[in-house]
Structure 1
């Protein structure tokens, strides 16, 4: 097994650093503390580790939450050619060109802080006292002597027998698919609603309407979004099928979700997507999809029983 990558383009460095922030917050949100300041993410109440899956063409950041058991899941896919100017990897065997690593988010994030001011960054799978993902950042200097900061981030190599747990999550046939409103606007609404209830009803229909609702014994609040549009089947990734053509376009499909999990998605999105979609399986799951030219991020929020 071998992995080595190098990033020299500043824009690519900054873009790649986004994902280290996502990973760091996965740790913070497992603590009993409130939201960690400065760095926020789409991920809430997940394990303190994530899976980094490497293939010749892609990198995947995976948080394999058990949606059927109330956990949040995330699948983030990056095309390596859009980030790395040099990229070499050899899988576990010549026939299986993949590597799966379990990474602790917090040290990964600390190591990649040097990325923001670095001239280049090298990532390499090494063997020190244990398996490590070594991050070597070449920093700018006023002298002719180069300055390199190296961090060794311990990782666990995941055996092949467990790989089936880290495959892309299949999405059941959804009842409604709708484009999301501007995410900043949606975030502002959800932030206010969070002060009123721990739960939020998301509902949408095939006319491109979406409602966000809070209902308690003391208050009922609804925010309406109109004419959002409904994606064609080709616009939506990773589903087995789309809404039934016989479905009444006025009828809402709805899911009650933990409002904090939705808030974390909205606070943590840093992908600047070209498309943002919401698929709803009635009273079952919300499947949020952010699409960008070099990033695909899927986020699953289960219904609250």
Structure 2
């Protein structure tokens, strides 16, 4: 197996760092799936309606890297690596002023993802900083656990308000309850509600846009656009996607009534997908 990539554009380095930093807020470990055309970060959880992935982040390598070479294990030409994403995030942050960033798969005392960062100095010379991030190569027999999640049968799909606004709301709600109920309909209405023994707080949104899928993933049993579908979820998990440094252009929330939320953060060449399972009352 061989992997080598190079980034020369500081904007692309910053973009990659922001995406990884956002993921690092959720978990410490993830699987990095490398293929000839995509770089995917997979955070796997228990089996749910959208498969075994809690978070799926996909980047088009041609829009991020100036050079990109991979030789995988077999004809699929893929490599799966388990790593500490916090270590990767810290390494990328040290490259935010780099002139050149090289990423490659190396073998030292064990397999590593090595980042070579060429930094300028005050004298006009250069210095190189090297980060070796230990990785574990995922066996081929486990690859099916890290595939892109299937689309569930969705009851409601709606574009969310700006994340900055949601963050302010969720941050206040976190001080009052561990759970929040997200409800929406196909008439552009969204409610964010928490309920305890002593207080009930609800934030209402109207005139939002609904997302309409071209396939059959939307439930055909929902025949009333005014019907509110909901999912009660862990508020800490819901807040994870609004806390990151990655700023999307579109955020779509799919409600699987009584079972969970599927949230897409979309920005040009990046697609970041969260699945949050519902919890019982």
Settle same-fold status: TM greater than 0.5: yes
Residues in 2 aligned to 1:240 and 1:165: alpha-carbon distance in whole angstroms? 24
Out of 89, 98, 104, the residue aligned to residue 124 of structure 1 is 104
Q: Which residue of 2 is the match for residue 28 of structure 1? A: none
Structure 1 residue 213 and structure 2 residue 193: aligned? yes
Aligned residues: 278
Q: Which residue of 1 is the match for residue 61 of structure 2? A: 80
Structure 1 residue 231, shift from structure 2 partner: 1.0
Out of 242, 264, 267, the residue aligned to residue 289 of structure 1 is 264
1:261-280 alignment runs, 5 A limit: 261-268=237-244, 270-280=245-255
Check 1:97–1:240 CA distance in 2 against 1; reply closer, same or farther (3 A cut).
farther
Out of 32, 49, 72, the residue aligned to residue 29 of structure 2 is 49
Structure 1 residue 244 and structure 2 residue 224: aligned? no
- Is the contact between residue 19 and residue 246 of structure 2 (CA under 8 Å) also seen in structure 1? no
Q: Which moved more, 1:243-252 or 1:125-134?
A: 243-252
Q: Which residue of 2 is the match for residue 176 of structure 1? A: 156
Q: Which residue of 2 is the match for residue 32 of structure 1? A: none
Structure 1 residue 195, shift from structure 2 partner: 1.5
Structure 1 residue 192, shift from structure 2 partner: 1.1
What's the Cα RMSD here?
Answer: 1.8
Out of 95, 110, 120, the residue aligned to residue 140 of structure 1 is 120
1:153-232 alignment runs, 5 A limit: 153-232=133-212
Structure 1 residue 72, shift from structure 2 partner: 7.6
Q: Which residue of 1 is the match for residue 277 of structure 2? A: 302
3-state secondary structure, aligned to 2:273: strand
Residues in 2 aligned to 1:247 and 1:144: alpha-carbon distance in whole angstroms? 67
Residues in 1 aligned to 2:145 and 2:111: alpha-carbon distance in whole angstroms? 21
Q: Please list the CA deviations of residues 258-298 of structure 1 after superposition, one character each: whole Å capped at 9, or x if unmatched.
A: 11111122112x33222210000100010001111110010
3-state secondary structure, aligned to 1:115: coil
Q: Which moved more, 1:141-150 or 1:253-262?
A: 141-150
1:3-14 alignment runs, 5 A limit: 3-14=3-14
3-state secondary structure, aligned to 1:290: strand
Gaps in structure 1 of 5+ consecutive residues: 26-40
Residues in 1 aligned to 2:80 and 2:20: alpha-carbon distance in whole angstroms? 17
- Is the contact between residue 53 and residue 149 of structure 2 (CA under 8 Å) also seen in structure 1? no
Check 1:211–1:67 CA distance in 2 against 1; reply closer, same or farther (3 A cut).
farther
Residues in 2 aligned to 1:240 and 1:288: alpha-carbon distance in whole angstroms? 18
Question: Larger % of strand: which?
Answer: 2
- Is the contact between residue 170 and residue 240 of structure 1 (CA under 8 Å) also seen in structure 2? no
**Normalised TM-score (structure 2):** 0.94
Structure 1 residue 20, shift from structure 2 partner: 3.2
Task: Give runs of ≥4 in structure 1 deviating > 6 Å.
Answer: none
Structure 1 residue 253 and structure 2 residue 229: aligned? yes
Q: Please list the CA deviations of residues 91-114 of structure 1 after superposition, one character each: whole Å capped at 9, or x if unmatched.
A: 112x12100000112322232222
